[in-house]
Amino acid sequence: TLWTTDRYVDRNPFPAFKQGVGVVLQLPQPTKIGTVTVDVASAGTAVQIRSAPGDNPKTLADTGELSAPTPLQPGPNRVALSSA
């Protein structure tokens, strides 16, 4: 799956980063996942993998942490997950 987010071209004030962008993947059944690979084109991004017991979490507090925030480098990055 591929998606893009807004680019920042206004240098003043810099940096004016977003708080975050989320992607929700719904698996057809409960599944154990040990790692997630995230491929990015440039540095400066961090990811955190989370899970939810239902299909529509309303807030971040409705999810469980599967990984700590992980800084990414250009190219494929493997993120190890804890069990949830």
- Domain span at residue 35? 1-84
Q: How many domains does the chain have?
A: 1
C-alpha to C-alpha distance for 65 and 50, rounded to whole angstroms: 5
Does this model's pTM top 0.75? My answer is: no
pLDDT tens track for 28-60: 888 889 999 999 888 888 899 999 888 888 888
> How far from the centroid of its chain's Cα atoms is residue 80's Cα?
13
Residue showing tokens 């190890």: 80
